[in-house]
Chains A and B, each alone.
Chain A
């Protein structure tokens, strides 16, 4: 939605004008109203539910904050979390569960097609962290209740995160306009927009085509191309969205935590999740793994059990179907293996470490195949094709044509998986003039990329965020 022309040319300028022209006392109220309008544009049927859930969560949080009775605080925490998780379970998991347990002939497909409330998974996790942080007194609450409403409903983060924490939305700065923060935000937004449109959307053409092929037709080379392109597409789609969300957050005077740090540079599967969807990993760490005992339990088995719970939940959070469960368990298995064997730390040679990195990327790539498959069987058969080959011979040709058609986008995507721009910046900024030239070139490239991205959106080559359904 935030890549739509309507958002860019109507909602955003309107929101910026109203917000920044308003008196400081009204800014947060305006932001809440804007967020509800934004939610209503994306999901009109659930805007009242969203407003109600936000208000109820804030009420419970504030009541918990005021009371000193431990049992009451605990009760409020349970009620708050249970009601939010209840909404998530009802909307996200009711239909898949009903479908799984009912006779296929009796499946009510109309019920299955109910639209999910926009960003319900992200909202629920933010609500849980808000309530838990109040309970543990980590959250430094603002004097104004409306600040809590802003945190839970802020339109920039509601669709796909990042899963900011209450304290991230630093107080006080909203009252005065911070030009540097604003300019950084705009620039970050432009970069994210270009990542999404110029890279993720282009690669989506390949992945959509490849993953729509019947398995019996899928040749090996096309399967590999589709799998690699999906890894790249998902990264630039989600990282692009995160950049835009962070940029928007900064445009409205708030700070936001980072969500990606060149994940495909990872040394191991374990470290991958310290670079990919960082806010989700940290959420599971802080609100599931550590409360379960984390790594500091006396029994080693308990640690693995805790990890199992975390990765099962991570899988199920992404979707109530077997391929997501297996996807989560795939990470659990790899992380356990690395923990048990001490890999890759035990590898001393550079070449060995490099090989391990490549193997890690292959493994992650296979798991992304499951992630993007309509069901577990298709995903496993797809991986089988990647390894064993087969498929429609005539379609071998297609991989070459797709490569020549989208080669420049694939190359750019691979290049920007690595921190080439920060490296160049670091080198050039050793010299003042070279640094200035770098700034000019970077700014112009970002501007050009934004215009080209706009052209793709206007030409109708836009598509929803891959993470919009979670």
Chain B
């Protein structure tokens, strides 16, 4: 047998000693119990096969070297100039993008049209709002990354079909282009969500949409940025996508928190009952915006705004059910400034048994506003998707 050199032997022993030291110092022996319990588990079938990685995943959650190794990985992928990491695409200016599959839009179309007919029959107004993703041109994405993506094409197809069926539709991509907005500035680089100023802008567009399509009379001047106090945090957090590729790959993210300069007066609800009084500040969770927080483990700063069912005591009219997604963490609070009463529901969080139509009739909403990020279109094609139920308006 070939005898390894002294250096190699030293390295070999050092690696083993480090593994054992890590095992002892980080109390990995506490895993023995869970290991033996797992071995005793029964009934492993293919649909549960993912659970075979459960031990690994749970250990990784508390693995102390995790963040350092992710940073090492970020350095390496940056050094190699890798633009595709874990199914995500990174632009030269460190924006993380995602590709989306093609869909027929049939399910979304049929559900929306049927839902609209139901609402119309019950004299309830309706508006469908299409919220953009981080790029507007699928062809440019293809040219840049050589990967097919269909999100904008899917949205185009669905909106065209809805418009043909006379369903009121507001496409924020069109508004964005009309306003001369730069899509790159509206989204976080390291997170799939849009930022707070974009949320304020979108709220204004939705308010105008409510005025145009639903007969509202909201004073949209309240959404002018000059009416808002801006608190800026620089290089302070990492979005959900950025946490996967590492801070060393894409850098940290800035954050702006906006709050109205004008006085506000809300009654906040727990479920359907008023629970407490407050101002716009009740929507804010400043504790999330702590630059001292662990950038990998702390809550995403996108959730520094809450969605809370509320009554705006300064607005006279409108009772809106807002069917939305996580993008609307930063639109619902602003939109609520122009409407008397606003409740929001994310359908993916509701069980199959949630009777949406009965709920709408019971609560007496005069308007239903559906605002979905366009990657929700097609989610129903995949039964395992967390967004599978988003277009099930039943």
Question: Could you tell me which A residues sit within 8 Å of B by CB distance?
Answer: 4-6, 8-14, 16-17, 37, 40-45, 47, 110, 113-115, 179-187, 190, 205, 394-395, 397-402, 405, 408, 436, 439-440, 442-444, 446-447, 450-452, 454-456, 458-461
| A455 in contact with B70 (CB, 8 Å) | yes
- The residues of B with any CB-CB pair to A shorter than 8 Å are 1-13, 15-16, 19-20, 22-23, 28-29, 31-32, 35-36, 38-47, 49, 52-53, 55-56, 59-60, 63, 65-66, 69-70, 72-73, 76, 80, 82-86, 142-143, 145-148, 244-246
When the two chains form their complex, are residues A183 and B69 in contact, meaning their CB atoms are under 8 A apart?
no
What are the nearest 5 A-B pairs in CB distance? A40-B39, A401-B146, A186-B12, A113-B46, A455-B73
**B20 and A183 within 8 A (CB):** no
Known: A9-B63, A45-B44, A184-B1. A450 touches B73 (CB 8 A): no
Q: Note all chain A residues with C-beta closer than 8 A to B42.
A: 44-45
Q: Are A14's CB and B29's CB within 8 A? A: yes
Which residues of the other chain, B, contact A12 by a CB distance below 8 angstroms? 19
User: What does DSSP make chain B's interface, helix, strand, loop or mixed?
Assistant: helix
Known: A458-B66, A459-B69. A187 touches B19 (CB 8 A): no
* A44-B38, A442-B8 as given contacts; A13 in contact with B56, CB under 8 Å: no
User: Do B69 and A44 touch across chains, with their CB atoms under 8 A apart?
Assistant: no
Q: Are B72 and A451 in contact (CB under 8 A)?
A: yes
| CB-based contact A458/B70 at 8 Å | yes
For A113, A442, A458, the residue with the greatest tally of chain B CB atoms inside 10 Å of its CB is: A458
Name the one of B4, B36, B60, B85 contacting A458, with C-beta atoms under 8 angstroms: B60
Given A45-B43, A180-B4, A439-B7, 13 other A-B residues pairs in contact with their CB atoms under 8 A = A9-B22, A9-B59, A13-B23, A13-B28, A43-B52, A45-B42, A395-B146, A399-B146, A401-B147, A436-B5, A451-B72, A458-B69, A459-B246
> What residues of chain A lie closer than 8 Å to B246, measured between beta carbons?
459
Distance in Å from the Cβ of A325 to the closest Cβ of chain B? 24
CA distance A12 to B23 in the complex (A): 10
Taken together as a complex, chains A and B put the C-alpha atoms of A34 and B75 apart, in Å, by 37
A9→B11 contact, CB < 8 A: no
Once the chains bind, are B13 and A186 in contact (CB under 8 Å)?
yes
Nearest A-chain residue to B16, judged by Cβ: A186
Most buried by B among A43, A114, A402, A405: A405
Instruction: Please give, as numbers and ranges, the residues of chain B lying within 8 Å of A43 by CB-CB distance.
Output: 44, 52
Alpha-carbon gap, A169 to B382, bound state (A): 49
- In the docked arrangement, what's the CA distance between A315 and B28, Å? 43
Q: Are B59 and A439 within 8 A (Cβ)?
A: no
- Residues in chain A near residue B65, CB distance under 8 A: 454, 458
Q: Which residues of B contact A397 (CB under 8 A)?
A: 142-143, 146
Of the candidates A9, A399, A439, A443, which one forms a contact with B19 in the assembled complex, judged by CB atoms under 8 Å apart?
A9
Q: Are B46 and A5 in contact (CB under 8 A)?
A: no
Is A14 a contact of B23 with CB atoms below 8 Å? yes
User: What are 21 A-B pairs at a CB distance below 8 A?
Assistant: A4-B56, A5-B56, A13-B19, A13-B20, A14-B32, A16-B16, A37-B39, A44-B38, A44-B44, A110-B45, A115-B45, A183-B8, A186-B15, A401-B147, A443-B8, A450-B15, A451-B72, A452-B72, A455-B76, A459-B246, A460-B86
CA distance A41 to B3 in the complex (A): 34
Nearest CB to that of B64 among chain A residues? A9
Closest-CB distance, A202 to chain B (whole angstroms)? 9
**Contact for A459 among B8, B70, B145, B148, CB less than 8 A:** B70
Give CA–CA (A110, B43) in the complex, Å. Answer: 13
Please report the C-alpha to C-alpha distance between residue A205 and residue B16 in the assembled complex, in whole angstroms: 31
Which residues of chain A have C-beta atoms less than 8 A from B35's C-beta?
Answer: 10-11, 37, 41
Do B147 and A183 touch (CB < 8 A)? Answer: no
B50–chain A nearest beta-carbon distance, Å: 11
Closest A residue to B10 by beta carbon equals A443
Cα–Cα, bound, A37→B52 (Å): 14
CA distance A9 to B35 in the complex (A): 13
Asked whether B20 lies within 8 Å of A16 as measured between CB atoms, the reply is: yes
| Contact with B40, one of A9, A44, A398 (Cβ below 8 angstroms) | A44
Report the bound CA distance from A439 to B8 in whole Å: 7
Contact B44 A115 (CB under 8 A): yes
Complex-state Cα separation, A162 to B210, whole angstroms: 68
> Within the complex, which residue of B39, B82, B85 is in contact with A44, where a contact is CB–CB below 8 Å?
B39
Q: Are the C-beta atoms of B12 and A187 separated by less than 8 Å? A: yes
In the complex the two chains form, what is the Cα distance from A442 to B86 in whole Å? 29
In whole angstroms, what is the CA distance A438 to B32 when docked?
41
Q: Which residues of A contact B12 (CB under 8 A)?
A: 182-187, 190
With beta carbons under 8 angstroms apart, the residue of A9, A401, A443 that contacts B28 is: A9
Pairwise interchain contact B73-A458, C-beta atoms closer than 8 A: yes
Known A-B contacts A187-B12, A446-B11; the reply to A456 vs B73 at CB < 8 A is yes
Closest-by-CB residue of B relative to A408 is B80
Assess whether B46 is in contact with A115, with CB atoms less than 8 Å apart: yes
Q: Are A37 and B36 in contact (CB under 8 A)?
A: yes
Query: CA–CA, A442 to B11, complex, Å?
Result: 11
Q: Which residues of B contact A455 (CB under 8 A)?
A: 69-70, 72-73, 76
| B238 CB, nearest partner CB in chain A, Å | 14
Tell me which of B46, B52, B76 contacts A452 (CB under 8 A).
Answer: B76
Contact between A10 and B49 (Cβ–Cβ < 8 Å)?
no
Given contacts A16-B16, A397-B143, contact A42 B29 (CB under 8 A): no
Q: State A14–B29 Cα separation when bound (angstroms).
A: 8
Q: Report B-chain residues with C-beta under 8 Å of the C-beta of A185.
A: 12
Pair B32/A115 contact, Cβ less than 8 Å: no
Task: Report the minimum CB–CB distance from A446 to chain B (whole Å).
Answer: 7
B249 — nearest CB in chain A belongs to which residue? A459
Expressed in whole angstroms, the Cα–Cα distance for A25 and B145 within the complex equals 60
Complex: how many Å from CA A442 to CA B43? 46
Nearest to B3 among chain A residues (CB) is A180
User: A113 near B47 (CB under 8 angstroms)?
Assistant: yes
| Contact partners of B73 in chain A: CB under 8 A | 452, 455-456, 458-459, 461
User: Which of A47, A182, A446 is B39 in contact with, Cβ under 8 Å?
Assistant: A47
Q: How far is the CB of A214 from chain B (nearest CB, A)?
A: 11
CA of A372 to CA of B143 in the docked complex: distance in angstroms? 29
Measured CB to CB, the closest approach of chain A to B262, in angstroms, equals 45
Q: How far is the CA of A44 from the CA of B8 in the complex (A)?
A: 37
Once the chains bind, are A405 and B49 in contact (CB under 8 Å)? no
A449 CB to closest chain B CB (Å) equals 11
Contact of B84 among A44, A205, A399, A454 (CB under 8 A): A205
| Closest residue on chain B to residue A457 by CB atoms | B69
CB neighbours (8 Å) of B9 from chain A are: 179-180, 183
Report the bound CA distance from A180 to B1 in whole Å.
9
Question: Are B11 and A447 in contact, CB atoms less than 8 angstroms apart?
Answer: yes
The answer for the CA separation of A436 and B22 in the assembled complex, in Å, is: 30
Bound complex: CA A187 to CA B20 (Å):
16
Q: Give A229 Cβ to nearest chain B Cβ, in Å.
A: 14
